[in-house]
Amino acid sequence: MADGKTALVTGGAGFIGSHMVDRLLELDYKVVVMDDLSTGKIKNLNSAAVFHHTDITKPAMTEIIQREQPDLVFHMAAQTSVTESTKNPIDDTNANVLGTLRVLEASRRAGVEKIIYSNTGGALYGDPETIPCSDDAPITPVSPYGMSKWVAEQYMDFYYRQYRLNYTSLRYGNVYGPRQDPHGEAGVIAIFSRAMLEGKQPSIFGDGTQERDFVSVFDVIDANIEAIDRGDGKAMNIATGEATTVNRIVEILRSITGYKWDPLHAPQRAGEVYRIALDCTRAAQELDWSPKISLEDGLQITVDYFRESMNPSGGVPSTS
């Protein structure tokens, strides 16, 4: 499938990016990773990839793209914290808009064939009137993060129209799975899994009735692979179409881990959407893609990963 092609993954040491790198290597691409390691981790890096420790907002990244001459760019590097974006919207915009613009301009100059952009569906549509939310629903972000990711997508479309730099923008639901940071704020499943395995009380922000569209990282990677040859010049949702409450996630994780206590509750966070699920009709039509991993199976895979990473001998930490 690769035909000797080179793929660049920005953010390739991160949660989603590192899985992308692994899959591309399996498909015999030469893979180049660009990551500033602000949230990405060295331990996630596949040693078979070429690694450049750099920031997409810095001029050095232009030289790297020129030198490596990638055929494809999977643009996954981003500032992804909704809370951080509300506290510091300028830094958020610098990473997500100006960083993306640097990637686009460098890619155009280097003759890149296509950019596949990791966008957010969960933060793009605000609190939509209709659930699940269609690919063409009004764009009404309620956080600077959603706004910056939207503006970056508009730059993708501009470069496509103006310079014929091909792209597909994939608007993800709430992605979860192995390697997600259990110490961040975005990965509720990773945070809860780790806390329960350690016998600690996880905190729910709000009453837990807020709903999200949780999609496995492995399904997301499948969508990126399908987008290599399809979906040109289009943006589309990548999720399950199912809205699941945070309380339901807690129930399933308690069942998997054997955790006995109730979670704590903290105040709702600024900029967070209350209820979202994404209709993936366009992805089904354009990419012939649909999610394959059920929520229960995906959660089991995630818990198994954290259990193993905490206790490589395979024993289960006590929660009693």
Cα–Cα–Cα angle for 270, 274, 280, nearest 5°? Answer: 125
Rounded to a whole number of angstroms, the distance between the first and last alpha carbons of the chain is 50
**φ, ψ for residue 146 (rounded to 5)?**
-60, -40
How far is residue 266 from each of residues 31, 152, 194, 243, measured CA to CA in Å?
A: 42, 32, 18, 22
Whether residue 132 is preceded by a cis peptide bond, meaning omega within 30 degrees of 0, is yes
Cα atoms found within 13 Å of the Cα of residue 29, Cβ hemisphere only? 26
With CA atoms as reference, report the closest residue to 234 among 101, 121, 135.
135
Q: Indicate the burial class of 296 (C-beta count within 10 angstroms; 0-12, 13-18, 19 or more).
A: exposed
Cα–Cα–Cα angle for 274, 276, 279, nearest 5°? Answer: 170
Reduce the DSSP state of residue 64 to 3 states and report it.
helix
Among candidate residues 125, 145, 167, 172, the one labeled active-site is: 145
Q: Is 117 a catalytic residue?
A: no
Q: What's the token pair of residue 120?
A: 């957010």
Cα dihedral 254/182/217/208 (nearest 10): 50
Helices (H) and strands (E) in the chain, counts: 11, 13
Q: What's the token pair of residue 52?
A: 């450049």
Residues identified as active-site: 145
